[in-house]
Amino acid sequence: MSAILSFIICILIILVLTVKFRMPPFVSLVGAAFLFGAMEGVGMGLLASTVTGGAASIFKVLGIIVFSGVVIARVLRESGNIDRIVFDVQKRIKAPTRTGGLIGYILSVPLMCGITTFVLVSPILSRFNVNKDVLKHTLFASSIGATLSYVLIYPSPVVVTIVDGLADHIADPWKIDLFTVPLSLVLILVFLCSVGALLKRRGTVESMGRIQEPDVERWRAWLPVLMPFILIGVGLVFPPLSFLSNINIALFGSLLLALAVVGRDVRSKALHEGTKNAGLIIFDLCGAGAFGAVIAASSFPDEVFDLLVGVIPPILLPFILAMSIQAAQGSRVVTATVTTSIIVTTTLPFTLDPVALVLMICGGAFMFSTVTDPFFWLITRVTHEDVRTVSWRYTVPLLCAGTVTMLAGLIVQAF
Distance, CA of 55 to CA of 39 (rounded, Å): 20
Helix 317-329 vs helix 300-308: angle between axes, to the nearest 10 degrees? 120
Distance, CA of 229 to CA of 251 (rounded, Å): 9
Task: Summarize pLDDT for 253-278 with one digit per residue, the tens.
Answer: 999 999 999 999 999 999 999 999 89
* Strand partners for 309: 312
pLDDT of residue 317: 92
Q: How confident is the model at residue 182 (pLDDT cuts 50, 70, 90)?
A: very high
The average confidence (pLDDT) of the chain is 90
Backbone angles phi, psi at 309, to 5 degrees: -60, 130
pLDDT of residue 209: 65
212 Cβ partners below 8 Å, 6+ apart? none
Residue 211 has pLDDT above 80, yes or no: no
Supply the DSSP string of 196-257, one letter for each residue: HHHHHHTT-----PPPPPPSS-HHHHHHHHHHHHHHHHHHHH-GGGGGGGSHHHHHHHHHHH
Distance set, CA 102 to CA 44, 117, 119 (Å): 49, 12, 15
Distance, CA of 296 to CA of 54 (rounded, Å): 10
pLDDT of residue 69: 93
Residue 307 has pLDDT above 90, yes or no: no
- Average pLDDT in the 355-369 region? 94
Residue 43 has pLDDT above 90, yes or no: no
Residue 1 has pLDDT above 70, yes or no: no
- Average pLDDT in the 73-88 region? 92
DSSP 262: S
Helix 3-19 vs helix 317-329: angle between axes, to the nearest 10 degrees? 40
pTM recorded for the entire structure: 0.88
In three state form, how does the secondary structure of 338-406 look?
HHHHHHCCCCHHHHCCHHHHHHHHHHHHHCCCCCCCHHHHHHHHHHCCCHHHHHHHHHHHHHHHHHHHH
pLDDT of residue 78: 93
Compute the Cα dihedral for 320, 323, 329, 334 and give only its sign.
Answer: positive
Q: How confident is the model at residue 49 (pLDDT cuts 50, 70, 90)?
A: very high
Residue 318 has pLDDT above 90, yes or no: yes
- Average pLDDT in the 365-384 region? 86
- Average pLDDT in the 284-312 region? 84
Q: How confident is the model at residue 345 (pLDDT cuts 50, 70, 90)?
A: confident
- Average pLDDT in the 226-255 region? 93
Residue 346 has pLDDT above 90, yes or no: no
308 or 95: which carries more pLDDT confidence? 95
| Terminal-residue alpha carbon distance, the chain | 41
Residue 126 has pLDDT above 90, yes or no: no
Q: How confident is the model at residue 292 (pLDDT cuts 50, 70, 90)?
A: confident
Distance, CA of 184 to CA of 192 (rounded, Å): 12
Sheet strands (E) in 105-230 = none
Nearest-5° Cα angle at 330, 145 to 7: 145
Distance, CA of 259 to CA of 378 (rounded, Å): 28
Q: How confident is the model at residue 153 (pLDDT cuts 50, 70, 90)?
A: very high
Distance, CA of 253 to CA of 274 (rounded, Å): 16
Q: Of 99-103, 177-181, 227-231, 298-302, where does mean pLDDT reach its minimum? A: 298-302
In three state form, how does the secondary structure of 59-81 look?
HHHHHHHHHHHHHHHHHHHHHCH
- Average pLDDT in the 90-103 region? 89
Compute the Cα dihedral for 344, 350, 351, 355 and give only its sign.
Answer: positive
pLDDT of residue 210: 66
% of the chain surpassing 90 pLDDT: 54
pLDDT of residue 287: 87
Distance set, CA 294 to CA 30, 33, 47, 60, 308 (Å): 10, 6, 7, 18, 21
Backbone angles phi, psi at 312, to 5 degrees: -125, 155
